[in-house]
Chain A
Amino acid sequence: MKRFFRRLGKNIVDLWTNFINFFKVANLNVKASMCLMGAGQFMYRQIGRGILYLGIEILGILFFSIYGFQWLVGLITLGTVEADPWTGLEGDNSVIFMLLGLMSLVLLILFIALYILNVRDVYNTSKLVLRGEKPKTFKQDLKDLLDKKFYKTVLFLPILGTIIFSLLPIVFMILIAFTNYGEPYIPPVLVDWIGLENFIKVFSIGDIGPTFFKILGWNILWAIATTLLNYVLGLLLAILLNKKIVKGKFFWRLFPILAYAIPGFITLTAFKFMFSQGGPINFYIEQAGGSALPFLTKDGTWWARLIGLLINAWLTVPSVMLLATGILSNINNDLYEAAKIDGAGAFRQFKDITLPFVVFATTPTLITSFIGNFNNFGVFYFLRSDVTSNGYFVSNDTDLLINWLYRLSIDNKYYSIGAAISLIIFIITSAISLIIYIKSPAYKKEDTFR
């Protein structure tokens, strides 16, 4: 800890000395831009850039003086006047305050980043000029955006969209984990910051902690089992359909694709009915003289888990099959010919040629499908959302963490607890997958096939 702070202190000192040094070498134009965005650019006669930066500064100052600062304060207080819809008193909506404050914070960071960019831009230009080159004109800038900097043009919208609709909600949810937002603190009632209380609650109160670990255990088992099952079945199916003996491959492929193309909620609803107590399967069991099996009821823990696995296989095997089919067609046929000459049997061929190739080629998708299955919401939401189990806090023994989160935060409106739990899950899953991803050959050796 001490070392950490010492290092942090050292870093800050470094930063400061760097800044001083930078200030020393910077020429007048750079300093001008430090004071007023775009000033340095104007001095280099880069009118287009200058106007852009100056415009940004004016807009930024206007925004922050009118709204932004207020919004930031709102983020800290989360509102002070409670609204009263009965008398029409328009008070403060804490959630909207939090959102606007967050947006303001994002804009502030963006503004600072642009400010630094502005200084760096002049600095780079000054270096160019020192070397005797001409500062870039606005026309050149625009041209660059279609050529060297084309990626900026292309990535602008996707990154903006991702920030607004993916990053912002996540940061928002992380913030919520530190508030008491949720029953009974839901606007118009004011919400407050409560620090780490939610996290303490999760692990200290009643059944919540044990429920978390029980569900986590099953969740991991499920993710591994279902990923492997789908993978193996999909692969086998593809290999089977790839056999020379099989005529009319198009025809045979139709059926799995049929399963793939029908929207999931439809098939899941149908499967839920199929395995219900009065459903057709139990009907035939009873006709045959047996008694109805507890497929999805409270007793049916392992039945329901097994059914979930099989149904998920039904839903996802076709896509694995499609993938594997493509990969199999990429295997060099010479390899098989050579193997045949060596006298290798069908099994040996499979073991030594097919399998290593396919496994190599599909490792990246295994990771993504593992994560997808870890967060597979649909299967058990449709099959068993009306069941609760003893010893599980508002959930049952087939729920995955994501189903539990749904029950906590949507059904029971404990948003902040749900947020705290999903933050914990989020940290675990993203850490694991980041490590796997960074270590995977697909990431390390991106250019091997070029």
Chain B
Amino acid sequence: MKNIKFLSLLLGSVTLLTLAGCDPNITTSNHNTSSNGQTTIVDPSEDDPVFAKFTGQLEEGVTVKVVENDTAIKMGYLDELIAAFNEEYKEYGITAVDANQGEFADLPNTGPYGYGPDVVYQANDVLMGWVDDKHITPIPTHLIEAYQSEVIPDTAHDAYKSVVNNVNYTFGVPVNIQSPLLYYRKDLLPSDWQETWDDNNNDIPDMVENIVDLYEFSKQYHAKDDTKYGFEFSLNDFYFTSGYLFSYGGYLFGNNNRDDTDIGLHKGNAKYGVQILRQFAAEMSAACRDDSAKLAISGAMASGKYFASVTTPDVRSVIVDALVDTYKSEQGLSQDEAITKAEENVVGVPFPDLPSNGDLINPSDDYIECKQMGGINGYAMSSYTKCPNASLAFINFATSYKMVKLREQIIQIAPCRSDVAEESTQLSQQLFERTTNGSIVLMPSIKAINQVWTPAGSFMADVAADPSRGGNAKYDTLDKIQAALEQLSNDIYDAIHLLN
């Protein structure tokens, strides 16, 4: 009895509190990102109040805490960058240090309470996901050398733009282009590939140029040794597979990946892309249905179990290391010889072209370019930094021609500055070009992207498992695929909007 009394009192007080706290304006949203006919979106002016903190007066004696990419730390680039920066700004007593929070530093949780980094290097989807809650601050482009000298392609700049209160702010400075690539073992090509696998005589093997030939080659490769696979990768990673859907007209979010109310994974002929992957999955092992292939890639490529696979460029060094070990133990090469040979034989290329009818078994004769998802990695500044001017100086320094070039040399990642890209490797140039012409579809720069990866990846994993289902196949006709894609778009829409 006593308890009931207490409970009723509690409930009563809660209701009272609720009533008291009810704000009549509860429905007016604080987000003013919508733009209808009347309002016009403008670029920020140089005296915009958010830029007031960039006085140009460097804070003396401060420490700039920097979050960097794990690979950059491992390969020693960050050390070089910090040393160069500290040397340059010695007279102001400004030092940059590794924030030492891992590459996935949790700015939204640490920043507001004073534990966050000052500058963060990350992919655009991660950084731009922090814009809505104002965790990263708008960057004054007029003070950034890279923007002023117009070496950043518009597509990359766009990835760092977001409209807040009708002003189109920029939130970061691009440094690299990152995108999954197809990696293959050059030394496992048939010795006569120039005669048999180069129909267009362009000195590029056909099987890494279009997916139909890769499919044919895979079958032959597997037929020769049934423990080996010509092409295998983890289909459950949507970062790897989304490009196939994009190539045929699918997209993630409408309005140039800005509108999270329009999910377009089922739009256009996206189903063709799914069909191709489903057909190819029949020639892959079970490892393509979850993370296994992605995690096994170094060993599998070193042993020749996979001729080709898909992964991100930072994994290349791991594959090379594994191949060096193989060469040393199997061919008795010395360390140096093995390294040279391995570096030469692990080759990364953009995704092979796709048949325009989306069918590997009865392919059309004409091909379309395979789009791929990519990201622009860059620097952004925490809104909570105590030293905005020094941080800006660091960003300027780290995105300069000199440092971007050094980064490319040390980590071998495609630069996003046109002046560096021009002098760069063929692959880097290709990626730069693909970014500017839209073949690399940049990851959406809105928060909602976080609700895409798991359901979409889970769906693609299910597609990968479909060939093994035999008579119970769930995706064996285009209609079924279309229905499933619509369902997927719906699920993602629900995850984003149902509870808002």
Contacts and interface: CB of A to CB of B under 8 A. Distances in A.
A–B: direct contact at CB < 8 Å: yes
Interface of A: 4, 8, 11, 75-78, 82, 84-88, 93, 178, 180, 182-184, 186-190, 192-195, 201, 205-208, 276-279, 282, 286, 291-292, 294, 296-299, 386-390, 393-394, 396, 411-412, 414, 417
Interface stretch (B20-28, B144-152, B428-436): B20-28
- Interchain residue pairs A-B with the least CB separation, the first 9: A278-B292, A278-B287, A193-B21, A292-B286, A85-B383, A277-B286, A86-B50, A277-B289, A388-B458
Contacts, number: 148
B290 A277 contact: yes
B90 interface: no
Given A178-B14, A208-B499, A299-B465, 10 more contacts: A85-B383, A86-B137, A86-B383, A193-B22, A208-B498, A292-B468, A297-B290, A298-B461, A388-B455, A393-B498
A11 B5 contact: yes
Given A291-B468, A412-B451, A206 B291 contact: no
B499 A187 contact: no
B495 interface: yes
B266 to A, nearest CB: 15
B8 interface: yes
A78 B26 CA distance: 12
Contact of B53 (A76, A88, A183): A88
Given A87-B49, A299-B462, A279 B292 contact: yes
Query: For the complex, would chain B's binding face be called helix, strand, loop or mixed by DSSP majority?
Result: helix
Which of A4, A208, A390 has its CB near the most chain B CB atoms (within 10 A)? A390
Which of B29, B52, B285 has its CB near the most chain A CB atoms (within 10 A)? B285
A193 B236 contact: no
B286 A282 contact: yes
Contacts of A195: 15, 18-19, 22
A396 B491 CA distance: 13
Interface stretch (B69-77, B127-135, B196-204, B419-427): B127-135
23 contacts: A4-B8, A86-B134, A86-B137, A87-B49, A182-B499, A188-B112, A189-B30, A193-B17, A193-B18, A208-B499, A277-B292, A278-B285, A278-B292, A278-B296, A286-B286, A297-B465, A298-B458, A298-B462, A299-B462, A386-B290, A390-B491, A412-B495, A417-B499
B21 A78 contact: yes
Interface in B1-53: 5, 8, 14-15, 17-23, 26, 29-31, 49-50, 52-53
A279 to B, nearest CB: 7
B346 interface: no
A396 B14 CA distance: 34
B454 interface: yes
Query: For the complex, would chain A's binding face be called helix, strand, loop or mixed by DSSP majority?
Result: loop
A237 B161 CA distance: 63
A412 B468 CA distance: 33
Contacts of A417: 499
Contact of B21 (A76, A184, A297): A76
B172 interface: no
Contact of A278 (B29, B108, B293, B447): B293
B130 to A, nearest CB: 10
A431 B49 CA distance: 55
A192 B292 contact: no
Contact of A201 (B22, B468, B499): B499
A183 B292 contact: no
Interface residues of B, number: 60
Given A93-B112, A387-B458, A278 B138 contact: no
Contact of B50 (A87, A184, A390): A87
Which of A77, A291, A387, A388 has its CB near the most chain B CB atoms (within 10 A)? A388
B457 interface: yes
Contacts of A180: 26
Interface string B441-457: 00000010011001101
Contacts of B15: 195
Given A193-B21, A276-B292, A388-B455, A85 B134 contact: yes
Contacts of B21: 76-78, 192-193
B384 interface: yes
Contacts of B451: 394, 412
A24 B132 CA distance: 63
A9 B434 CA distance: 77
B339 to A, nearest CB: 28
B461 A297 contact: yes
B191 interface: no
A388 B458 CA distance: 6
A206 B293 contact: no
B362 interface: no
Nearest to B108: A186
Contacts of A388: 454-455, 458, 491
Nearest to B134: A85
A414 B499 contact: yes
B487 interface: yes
B494 interface: yes
Which of B22, B135, B290, B458 has its CB near the most chain A CB atoms (within 10 A)? B290
Contacts of A299: 462, 465, 469
Contact of A85 (B289, B291, B384): B384
A188 B134 contact: yes
Contacts of B289: 277, 292, 294, 297
Which of A82, A187, A190, A394 has its CB near the most chain B CB atoms (within 10 A)? A394
A386 B454 contact: yes
Nearest to A201: B499
B500 interface: yes
A277 B469 CA distance: 15
Contacts of A396: 458
Nearest to B498: A206
A307 to B, nearest CB: 14
Contacts of B287: 277-278
Which of A183, A389, A411 has its CB near the most chain B CB atoms (within 10 A)? A183
Given A76-B20, A297-B290, A186 B133 contact: yes
Interface string B279-302: 000000111111111001000000
A192 B23 contact: yes
A386 to B, nearest CB: 6
Contacts of B383: 85-86
A48 to B, nearest CB: 33
Contacts of B462: 297-299
A279 B295 CA distance: 11
A294 B467 CA distance: 13
Contact of B132 (A184, A294, A393): A184
B117 to A, nearest CB: 14
Contacts of B495: 393-394, 412
A282 to B, nearest CB: 6
Contact of B26 (A192, A205, A386): A192
Nearest to A390: B487
A192 B30 CA distance: 12
Interface in B75-126: 108, 111-112
Interface in B214-231: none
A183 B500 contact: yes
B31 A184 contact: yes
Contacts of B49: 87
